[in-house]
Each structure stands twice: as C-alpha cells, then as structure tokens.
A and B are shown apart, each in its own frame.
Chain A
Amino acid sequence: MRHWLEKAGFDPRFTSLVLALALIWAALALATDGLFLTPRNLYNLSIQTCVTAIMACGMVYLIVARQIDLSVGSQIAFTGMVIAFVQVTWLGPQAPFAWLLSIALGLAAGMALGAFQGFWTAYRGLPAFLVTLAGFLMFRGAAFLVADGQTLAPLADAYQRIGGGVHGSLGPTGSWVLGGIACAWIVAQALYARRSRKRYDAAMAPAWADALKALVTCAAVLAFVAVMCAYPDPGSGTGKGIGFPVLILAAVAIVLAVVATRTRFGRHVFAYGGNPEAAFLSGLRTRRVVMSLFILMGALSALAAVITTSRLNSGTHSIGQMAELYVIAATVIGGTSFAGGIGTIPGAIVGALLIQTLDNGMVLMDVSSAKRQIFIGLILIAAVWLDTFYNRRLAR
C-alpha cells in the first residue's frame, strides 16, 4: 500500500493525515446531528484554525532545523499589546492608518523578539529549548508591562475586519474568482512540472495520479468556497465568502511552502536539519539560517496577534496562552519530525485544522474544557508515537 502510494507520487503520511481528518469530520457530523457541518460552524472553524496554522508554518521550519520555540504564545501577547498600544493609547483608533502603522510595529516587535532568541541560540550556542523557555516568561511579563496589565480597547474599525467578523470576508464574487484562480494555478503547476521533468527524461508519476491529485485539490478548494459563501454575513446580507484570516494564512502558506521546496534558503534549512555538520562543511552559513528562522517565527506570531486582537477588538496581556502547545502539536501531527530534516507546510496546516476540529467538535458536543485538554493531549501522544514508529521503519 505504502509503496504503491509513493509510486503514484502521493506522500503516504500526508494522505493518511487527510484521511484521518475526513474520518473525524464524518464522526463529528454524526455525533452532533450535522451541526458540525453547517456553513456557520465551518466558517468559524476556518477562522479558529488560522491563528494556530500561521504559527505552525513557522514552527515547521524551526523543528525541521532541530530548533523549537516555546515562547510563541507569549510573543502573541507582547506583539498584540504593542499593536493595541499604538492604536489605542498612542495614536487613537480614529487616527487615519494608525492600524496599518500598528501592524508594521507589531511585526517589527515580533521580529525583534525572534532576533533576540535567535542570537542566543545561533551565535551563542545555547539550546533553543532553554532560550525560548526564558522567552516564554519574559515576553509574557513584557506584555503585562506595556499597559500595566490593562486591557486596551476598542481598536480601529478597519482593523476589526481583519479577524473575519462582520465585513471580515471577501464576499461571494471575490471568493469564487479567487477559487477559480487557485484551481487554474493548481492545474498549471501540475502541467508545468510534468513538462519540465519530461525535458530531462526524469522519472514521472503516472498521468492519472497527477490528474487525480489536481482534481481532488481543486474540488476541495471549490467546496470550501461554496460552503463559505453559504454562510450569510450579518453586515452585508450576502454570503460571507472566504474570511480574511484564511487569506492571510493562504498567503503565508504559499510563500513558505515555495521557500521550503524551491529556494536555496529552504534547501539549506532542510540540509541543516538533516545533518548540521554536513551543512557547515558544505559552506552554508548555518548560524545565519538558524537566526533567520527565529525572526520568521516572531513575524508570524505578530501576524497571529493581529488576527487574535482583531477578533477580540482589544489587546490584553493574557492572549495566546497555551498557543505554543497547540502550535507544536499541530506541527508534529502534521508529520514534522523532532529528529530534524522532515516536515511540510501543508502537513502542519492540516495538523492545525485537525486540532481545531477536535476542539471545535468537542465544544459542540458539550465536552468540558478539562476533558478536551486531556483528549488533545492523548492525540498528541498518538501522533508522536506514529512519528517514532515511522522513523524506526525508516532506520531499519
């Protein structure tokens, strides 16, 4: 089965992850009398997934390069407070474009936190686990100090739309156009890849397998658009369409997936994760690579903070608690290996979707928050167990 899948160009891990997700969705649909699959719930699920998924994209890079960042939840809190401070206290939410400046400063703050941790890890050789554990404490404390523990609200009107609430989505027309473009791009990519491989007589997956893959992906995109458009927006009266956070996630995911697989930087990250010594001996600037990964993670945390504060319409120092655990869990469930060198962006996004699905579904089923935590913990252990099991088979 595994061999057969690989021959057809399917990643067995990713395929089984998607199948597992489909099973869970079917089970939740039954257990909630279809409530889980309503457009309203799926729209909310898509928004809830974005914060975890955006950060998981950065965590893939870090864990692939044998690093870790335990401070991402505290980074959200600090950068979120910086954003709220700029809008509420400093410029006032009515100041034109204050929200744009606040986002820029939030991103800069996130990158500064990342640079701090990257410096101690990459250039001073401290273990990432300890440096980011210190960051976990320090950044949460710093978030408190920004406004002396107060909650800052309200935020700018334009800013509130970013979180996917009222007027926070693309609308039906825009969503269908975007869905169409996405499908065209998926098909074009598949054709281009085949043509390029043909030119060099390289081995190719059978045409039907590539066609099936493109077809399934396009169908998923269009089904997603259809469901999102079926949920009415209370502001405009038409269907909501794709939420803005999903657009941000899509942009982040596409850029980072392309960087991971098709750029020199991405190749170097994976090489470093596979064998740090080899990467160094091959002349790679390994310290700079590690440093930039932490900076990237800080920027992504700031993006996640933008969505979170926008949804809450306020900045408070307590946001992002336990985010690091959800993000790391999503990354590992998505097939990123703690041994380094292995991991994918699409896997991490499906991993984030799986975790949020469980969380969301259990809320619908009235499972208490204590039991939800236990269950998600068990899922994480199962995922890591599968990872070691899979690695042992590789090592055999």
Chain B
Amino acid sequence: MTPLVETRNLTKHFGGIHAVERVSCTLHAGEVVGLLGHNGAGKSTFIKVLSGVYPADEGEILVKGEPREFDSPAEAREAGIETIYQSLALAENLDAPANLFLGRELLTPWRTLDSDRMEHEAAKVISRINPNFTDIGKPVRDMSGGQRQTVAIARALYFNARILIMDEPCAALGPGETRMVQDTIRRLKDEGIGIFLISHDMADVFEVCDRVTVMKNGAVVDTVNVADVTEEDVLAMIILGEKRGGRA
C-alpha cells in the first residue's frame, strides 16, 4: 500500500547546523507514528519542513506517492497536511470560529465573511471533539488549555485533513484533557487519518502510537513497532542514539 506520506533523505541545514539530516520515514493511513528524541534532536524542524514552514535543502516529500514541494504552510494544507503546533498558533484576540477558519474563511455571495455560518460550523465540529465546550464565542485568551487544544484540533479536522501532525498536544494539559486528546487521536486513526505525534511522555506514546521513529542530532536512530519494544528500549535509543541491540 502507498504510504500517505513518505520522506526520502529529507535534509535541512541552518548555516553549519544539520538540523535535519537525511531523514526517511513513512506514515500510513490509520497509523500513529511517534516522533521521539531530545530537545534539539530535529523533530520540530522536521515537521516544519513537512508543513511548509521551511523549504527542504535536499530530499523528497511524497504525498500518496507523488513528490511534492511546499513553499508555504498554505501549500502543505492544500496537500492535506494539517499541523497542530505546540504553541497552537491561535490568535488570542479572536474567538474559536475566527481561529478555526483563519486563512480559509467562509464567504457570503458578496465576498464578505459569513460569520454566522462559520460560528454554526465551528460549533458542530467542536461539539464532536469536546461536547462540554459550548461558549465558543469568547476570545482564545479567555479559554482553558483544553479548550484551546480543542480549537486547534477542530481547525485541523474541519478541513478533512488526511495527514495530521501534532506537536506535544498534551504537554500543557491536565489528566482529563489529556484523555480527551488521546480519545480524539484514536477516533481519527479509526477514520483512516495518519498522525505524526511528537511527545516526550512515554506513557502517552505507548498509549496511542503504532510505531515510533527516534531521532538524535537531526538523524533517525531507528523506527520500531511499539508492540516489539519496551519503554526502556525506546529510552535507551533516545539517550544513547543507538539501534536496539546495537551494543550487543
């Protein structure tokens, strides 16, 4: 089966720093792949290349088998890649519908914003993720962490993303909200969406991921099935940067 996304020797340098070095990995439909590694291992740069923020220096991105180049975040979105950044990338002064449709606003026949329809649609998709979140008309700055995360996820879902990149979605959340996000990830997976998940929390990773790709110093250490390894194995890969059994 053709993977949803495949990268081949993807490379990104900043001056002399090899932020991402020949990274090859795949993501299939209905699969959650964890991206692990220390801070500075290159995970964030890798997903920024995938989501069109930085152009790649070398290597290829294939979406459903076709080579693609992204010059802007908008182009990556058009290819069906939605990214939920750790910062969530929400405008604090705008409400949930305005953020959800930012850059892809619904318009009336007179080319003006169709605010009422956007509010209606936003309420529908948000209630699917987090039924307790109803006062969506308040500005983001007045929202809780879980509500913000809901808006960011809703933004990715509404536009029928096939490929979802989530950067530390649970880092700032309480246990209840973390469960909400994990449930959402499982449901999306069942719908056939492929997800790259960046996380530092091992329990989180083993809870939802099918495979994990471990990075160190910009390069891939190894990619393994979660079912075949223990948390200790993965930790060793992250810390030592060696393939499992590499020392044997």
Contact = CB atoms under 8 A, between A and B. Distances in A.
B77 interface: yes
B113 A264 contact: yes
A147 B146 CA distance: 63
Interface in B113-151: 113, 115-117, 119-120, 137, 141
B77 A197 contact: no
A67 to B, nearest CB: 16
A123 to B, nearest CB: 15
Contact of B91 (A201, A203, A262, A279): A279
A196 B85 CA distance: 34
A352 B177 CA distance: 47
B91 A275 contact: yes
Contact of A267 (B85, B92, B98, B116): B98
B89 interface: yes
Q: In the complex, which range does the number of interface residues on chain B fall in?
A: 20 to 34
Interface in A319-368: 340-342
A263 B93 contact: no
Nearest to A271: B91
B87 interface: yes
Contacts of A264: 105, 107, 113
Given A262-B113, A283-B103, A270 B91 contact: yes
Interface in A271-303: 271, 273-275, 277-284
A196 B116 contact: yes
A143 to B, nearest CB: 37
A268 B87 CA distance: 19
B94 A282 contact: no
A208 interface: no
B112 to A, nearest CB: 4
A271 B120 contact: no
A12 to B, nearest CB: 14
Contacts of B119: 200, 202
Interface in A180-206: 196-197, 199-203
Given A282-B102, A283-B74, A341-B91, 12 more contacts: A202-B116, A258-B112, A263-B111, A267-B105, A268-B103, A274-B93, A275-B92, A278-B88, A278-B99, A284-B103, A341-B94, A342-B93
Interface of A: 196-197, 199-203, 258, 261-264, 267-268, 270-271, 273-275, 277-284, 340-342, 394-395
Interface of B: 51, 53, 72-74, 77, 83, 85, 87-94, 98-99, 102-105, 107, 111-113, 115-117, 119-120, 137, 141
